[in-house]
């Protein structure tokens, strides 16, 4: 059974963020989803009646986005570490050449 709010724009943005596989687009999808969810929260304030089910779904969605953001942060840190390690390895591989050049220059 689908909830009444499943067709809300915020739900579509949330799903897009959760299903995004392209790392370069992830932060934008998360930001868009969060903005739409906040807009929906504002609308709910103006609509009379209890919206307990939707409010719980919103809390769950925000929690999911926080988890996704944390994964994004971990991924970015891993990428930075991998890039630094690769750069260090390249420097190590050319170190003998640099030492040899320095020795040649000091002999001149």
pLDDT tens readout for residues 47-81: 877 678 888 999 999 999 999 999 999 998 999 99
pLDDT, residue 2, reads 43
Closest CA to 98 of 80, 106, 81: 106
pLDDT averaged over every residue in the chain: 88
> Residue 66 and residue 80: Cα distance in Å, rounded?
21
pLDDT, residue 36, reads 95
Longest dimension (CA), the chain: 88
Q: Is the pLDDT at 46 greater than 50, yes or no? A: yes
């Amino acid at each position: 059974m689908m909830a009444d709010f499943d067709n809300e724009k915020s739900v579509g943005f949330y799903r897009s963020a959760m299903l995004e596989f392209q790392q370069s687009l992830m932060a934008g999808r998360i930001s868009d989803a969060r903005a739409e969810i906040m807009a929906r929260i504002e609308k709910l304030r103006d609509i009379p009646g209890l919206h307990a089910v939707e409010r719980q779904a919103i809390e769950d969605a925000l929690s999911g986005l926080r988890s996704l953001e944390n994964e994004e942060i971990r991924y970015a840190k891993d990428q930075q570490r991998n890039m630094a390690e690769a750069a260090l390895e390249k420097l190590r591989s050319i170190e003998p050449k640099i030492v040899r050049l320095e020795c040649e220059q000091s002999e001149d």
